[in-house]
Structure 1
Amino acid sequence: MLAAVARLVADRAPRPALVAEAIGAALGAAECELVVDGVTHRWGAESTGAWSRARLDEHAELRVRPARRLGAVADALGPVPDLVRLALSVDELRRAGTEAAAELADTRWRAAAEMDTERRRVERDLHDGTQHHLVALRLAVALAEHDPASADLGPRLDAAEATLVRTAAGVLPEPLADGLAAALGAELGTHTDVRLDLAADLPRYPAPVETAVYFVCLEAVGNAHKHAVGASIDVRLRGSAAGLSFSVSDNGPGFEPTATGTGLANLTTRLTPLGGTLRVDSALGTGTTVEGFVPG
């Protein structure tokens, strides 16, 4: 019996049930239970008859059935409870190590995902916000070539620079501090080709919702400036308890629905994580309408 237990000790982490099996088999018992610190490790098939019990230490007991004398056996098995405790500790440490490794891997994955999300946010903000100002600046430069007196390049340069600074800092667009309607009014109100229909009583929505709609509207206006030069552009906002709806329409040349390009895909990417929807209506000769809804 001691030889069988000794072979188990040679294992780096023997299972307590195997220790009970080695003891029970060596004793010719049908059942063997090793109780350590209130936990029972059992081996054998259920049988009848009385149990023999032997105290191994203050918190460990050996039980075998059918009954037999265990006095000398108990003395020889004195170190076994400590072996069981050690094996359980090793198992616990291994589990803890596995969980720690899994948690570390998960943390790294989440950090990588957050970095990718932030990279995409900066990319979208540059595309949606800064591009809007650069397009307006390009139009102003083109106008200056024909009529230098009418050029107003300084404020447009300042606006583009301020947008780049905000994007690099990773903060919300400053105008949104006063609400979405005020922000769009500040950004688009100076454009003579843009008409704003912004509800005066527009409620406030969570920052991600207002930010997404803000940039979607700016990019939609920027797209109209690029692809429908000279067209009139209408921007409309309406709010309700259910959420925020918006539309940007122009009376330009329009396009085939299959030729949406990456710009419109970026608009959808803005809204999808918030549960929002986007629809684009356009056809050659009929202008373009971009409208969407974001739950509040």
Structure 2
Amino acid sequence: MRTLERRVAEAITDHLARGGPDPDPRALARVIGEAAGATGCALVVDGRRHQWGDGGGPWREHDIACGGVVVGVLAVTPESVGPLSAVAAVLGAPVAAIRLVEETDRLRREGDAAVRALDDDRWRAAAEMEQERRGLERDLHDGAQHHLVSLRMSLALAEHAIGTGAGLERVADLEARLAETERVLIDTATGILPDALVAGGLATALRTELARHDHVTLDTAGLRRRYPAPVESAVYFVVLEAVNNARKHAGGARVAVTVRDGYRGLEFAVADNGPGFAVASSNAGLPNLAARAASVGGVVDVRSAPGAGTEVSGVVPI
């Protein structure tokens, strides 16, 4: 056995001298197997089997210890190979080094994975914050600005009627509208949807909002069901912005709003009989409409031509 031990020890020493500071467990198994005259040899470290040879016969196994701690298992075939205890004793330090290297690699991989996961979480959080910011921006644009445009138009009328009874009435109306605008800004900043939308649904919310605007009619006779809150919120703000655009760019034009249940899903349309425009050469306000509808899987289509009015229509699929 001393001859086998010496052959294995010399082979291991020579292999480590040529292979660098980190032993290759598979190569080390080959060195041991060849030195011992085995047809197969394997080192089992941390549950991983590093095998050389075909291993066609029964295996003889022996624990490998270093400092009184089992660090691996040596297995050879055939069983006729001499006793393994002395060989296993020689392998204690190299296998402990292999185990340390593999443990270091495992910890490094786990650390890298943790760093990547942290980066992913950080990017995801940033993306969600940006999405929330853009959503708040759209809500301010579509909700609060809608009221402000109406205020500006009412103020222009008040200027012509000031000094008369009608003028005083318009000033009172402006004060009420300012209070409403303040409420909308507060609700938007705190992420609260209009009470009418939450409690009564899309038809009730649009009826409440659009009833105060002259030259705007609303048809919700074909809307008979509720939709998920994000869908109703998206369509609500799309319709308000479309009405707002019509009042800004087609002053005095009549605006017809239709919302209904369609075979494709929740359908809506805002049509005015204003001057119209060349759709290809203007996209004022349209990106916001498209982005708002797309956030719930919907689409928006804008049809207009000079002298032919404008229609903004869309659908959110069921």
Could you say what the CA RMSD is over the residues aligned between the two structures, in angstroms?
A: 2.6
Quote the offset at 1:241 in angstroms.
6.8
Q: Which of 17, 31, 35 is the equivalent residue of 2:40?
A: 31
Q: Does 1:214 align with 2:236?
A: yes
Q: Which of 72, 76, 85 is the equivalent residue of 1:64?
A: 76
Which one is further off, 171-180 or 107-116? 171-180
Rg comparison, structure with higher value? 2
| Residue of structure 2 in register with 1:166 after alignment | 187
TM-score, structure 1 normalization: 0.88
Query: Which residue type is aligned with residue 189 of structure 2?
Result: A
Q: From the superposition, tell whether residues 40 and 126 of structure 1 become closer, same or farther in structure 2 (CA, over 3 Å).
A: same
Unaligned runs of 5+ in 2: 1-10
Quote the offset at 1:256 in angstroms.
1.0
Unaligned runs of 5+ in 1: none
Q: What secondary structure sits across from 2:92 in the alignment? A: coil
| Residue of structure 1 in register with 2:157 after alignment | 143
Contact 2:222 2:260 in 1 (8 A): no
Q: Does 1:10 align with 2:21?
A: yes
Q: Does 1:74 align with 2:82?
A: no
Quote the offset at 1:258 in angstroms.
1.4
Query: Which residue type is aligned with residue 99 of structure 1?
Result: A
| Residue of structure 2 in register with 1:132 after alignment | 146
Q: Does 1:120 align with 2:134?
A: yes
| Residue of structure 2 in register with 1:270 after alignment | 292
CA distance in 2 between partners of 1:288 and 1:247 (Å): 10
Task: Report the number of matched residues.
Answer: 293
Q: From the superposition, tell whether residues 9 and 63 of structure 1 become closer, same or farther in structure 2 (CA, over 3 Å).
A: farther
Query: Which residue type is aligned with residue 249 of structure 1?
Result: A
Q: Which of 168, 186, 196 is the equivalent residue of 1:175?
A: 196
Query: Which residue type is aligned with residue 51 of structure 2?
Result: R
Which one is further off, 127-136 or 50-59? 50-59
| Residue of structure 2 in register with 1:40 after alignment | 49
CA distance in 1 between partners of 2:57 and 2:228 (Å): 72
CA distance in 2 between partners of 1:180 and 1:115 (Å): 27
Contact 1:31 1:65 in 2 (8 A): yes
Aligned pairs for 1:252-267 (under 5 A) are 252-267=274-289
| Residue of structure 1 in register with 2:310 after alignment | 288
CA distance in 1 between partners of 2:155 and 2:241 (Å): 20
% identical aligned pairs = 49
Q: Does 1:111 align with 2:132?
A: no
Quote the offset at 1:249 in angstroms.
0.8
Quote the offset at 1:235 in angstroms.
0.8
Q: From the superposition, tell whether residues 266 and 91 of structure 1 become closer, same or farther in structure 2 (CA, over 3 Å).
A: same
